Structures are given as structure tokens and as C-alpha cells.
Amino acid sequence: DVKVTQSSRYLVKRTGEKVFLECVQDMDHENMFWYRQDPGLGLRLIYFSYDVKMKEKGDIPEGYSVSREKKERFSLILESASTNQTSMYLCASSWDTRPTFGSGTRLTVV
């Protein structure tokens, strides 16, 4: 079974802090994704990566950046956290079009 591990289940950060969300997958997948999920808005793609050091903007990249230095790890960075970034963040990986998700990080920015 593919395992996608997100480093934190719950996180509380202050406005203006730099926040790192880490994601690791163990199946040598080339594709990795970061989504956020909000009530009434569903899952929205923030960034994705199809190879090491490669990244593409998703639908809502503003306020976020990503890093993929190794194939198994995809990090989401909030450069200066704001309250409107309070959300559930889901990492996923895939070798085809069907992603497997991590269990999510619920981030609260106060």
C-alpha cells in the first residue's frame, strides 16, 4: 500500500509566521500535489510537482511556495501565514492520474 505521510495532524501558528508543511511518500511516485480543503469549496489544488525540482502552480498558489529537493518529499511553505490560510491541507502522490492522499494537516492561523 502506498503511504503518504504528513508530518503534523494539527498545527496552530501565528499570523506572519513562516510555516512548513512536510509530506513524504514511500512509493517512488513522480507526481506530488498539495491541496487545501474548505467547507463549501471542496479540494483546491495549490501546487504540484511531476519531478524533483520541478513545480507547477495549481489553481490557488498565492501566498504559498513549494520545494521538492528529493523525489519522496514535497514541502508546502506559507511565507507569512494569514488567517485566511486556516484550512485542511492534503498532500497526495501518484504515478498516474489517481492520487493517494495523506491524512491531512489541519492548520489554524491565529
Interface residues toward another protein, by CB under 8 A: 30-31, 33, 35, 40-45, 48, 50, 90, 94-104
In angstroms, the CA 39 to CA 87 distance is: 9
Q: Judged by CB, which is closer to another protein: 73, or 79?
A: 73
- Please count the other Cβ atoms lying within 10 Å of the Cβ belonging to residue 56: 12
Q: Judged by CB, which is closer to another protein: 19, or 92?
A: 92
Closest CA to 44 of 107, 89, 3: 89
Contact in structure between 48 and 103 (CB atoms under 8 Å): no
| Residue 72 DSSP one-character state | T
Query: Closest separation between CB of residue 86 and another protein, Å?
Result: 16
Contact in structure between 87 and 38 (CB atoms under 8 Å): yes
Q: Judged by CB, which is closer to another protein: 64, or 101?
A: 101
Query: Closest separation between CB of residue 45 and another protein, Å?
Result: 7
Query: Closest separation between CB of residue 18 and another protein, Å?
Result: 25
Query: Closest separation between CB of residue 35 and another protein, Å?
Result: 8
